[in-house]
Structure 1
């Protein structure tokens, strides 16, 4: 019953204030992903550094792994994830709206009730999203995080991009085409941004646990 009430509340809020609703939802999911990641890091300070940790260290700074082991909770880092999630929500909303109406999965009008879903249109949705928006969204993430960390010079931002961008984009293409296929096919428009945010949480935590397990096995 609780999830139904929350779903009804979310639907009403989305109808009245779509951008604000998505901003709060996406920001909260972004902050939650960092809370879970930092919690895992705090309970596993001595595990071998995984591939994901190496990538995180490049995003957060080269000394981030050592700092995580010696310092307390990084509130500023969680705040950056919250701010980025809120900032990106309107862009994601308008992009999803563009995809929805530019590549319809069914015929318009009354024919939509009996028309079959076009797999070709679905494939175009995913291809356009991953070829155009994924590199742009990742660039926004790396650049925004760099600026919020105080990297205001061109050289500092360039170093951050050279360290992390390509590796993160390749990792993105290993998972997100499948996620977006499910998203564009089955999710109503108002739930697409929260759906990708929720999967982002699971992806980050799953990779952390998986890489930690591989490290323990190698002992």
Structure 2
């Protein structure tokens, strides 16, 4: 409880910084899970640079972009009724999510030193599979976002999504770093 209260105080004092750092930390955790539990690299083979890259993406891209998107979405569709939440979820899942993923994967490739040509080839190979990894994920995110937009105050939405996304981030990290 004390940790949660400290998080709330920090969020109230520095909302943007805390949201961005939360996104970065949870993106890093997703990569650690990917390397240790999915890929079974072991601590000796853990690619620390990759984890730092994912944390940097969380702080420099995911946090600002998703956090900014939620603010824009709240201005575009003000309100928290069930209908408002449904509209937000449909815009988020139908428009924002595919565009976001289409930017995320090439950004990972560029940060990992891929040339534009190699990055484009990789994007063509993995993007559709990344968008539809499992039918259950396609059911998960609309439900999560519907609850997020209906029940969660704006300043907590990024953290809620990033907590749920730890497993998704693990998948994206594994998919983005496959040869």
TM-score normalised by structure 1 residue count? 0.68
Q: Please give the residue correspondences for 1:170-181 in structure 2 after superposition, counting only pairs within 5 Å.
A: 170-171=132-133, 173-181=138-146
| Rg (Cα) greater in structure | 1
Instruction: Report the aligned-residue RMSD.
Output: 2.2
Rounded Cα–Cα distance in structure 2 between residues aligned with 1:122 and 1:184: 5
Instruction: Identify which of 60, 69, 79 aligns with 1:105.
Output: 79
Instruction: Identify which of 29, 32, 35 aligns with 1:35.
Output: 32
Rounded Cα–Cα distance in structure 1 between residues aligned with 2:166 and 2:58: 12
8 A Cα contact 1:26 1:193, kept in partner: yes
Residues 1:24 and 2:21 aligned together: yes
Residue segments in structure 1 that go unaligned for 5+ positions in a row:
44-67, 107-116, 207-219
8 A Cα contact 2:106 2:120, kept in partner: no
Instruction: Identify which of 140, 148, 157 aligns with 1:192.
Output: 157
Residues 1:142 and 2:105 aligned together: yes
Task: Tell me the residue number matched to 2:9.
Answer: 12
Task: Tell me the residue number matched to 2:175.
Answer: none
Task: Tell me the residue number matched to 1:125.
Answer: 88
8 A Cα contact 1:130 1:173, kept in partner: no
Q: What is the DSSP-based 3-state SS (H/G/I as helix, E as strand, rest coil) of the residue aligned with 1:29?
A: helix
1:150-192 per-position Cα deviation (integer Å, ceiling 9, x unaligned)? 01x3211111210111121123634311111111111111111
TM-score normalised by structure 2 residue count? 0.82
Aligned residues: 166
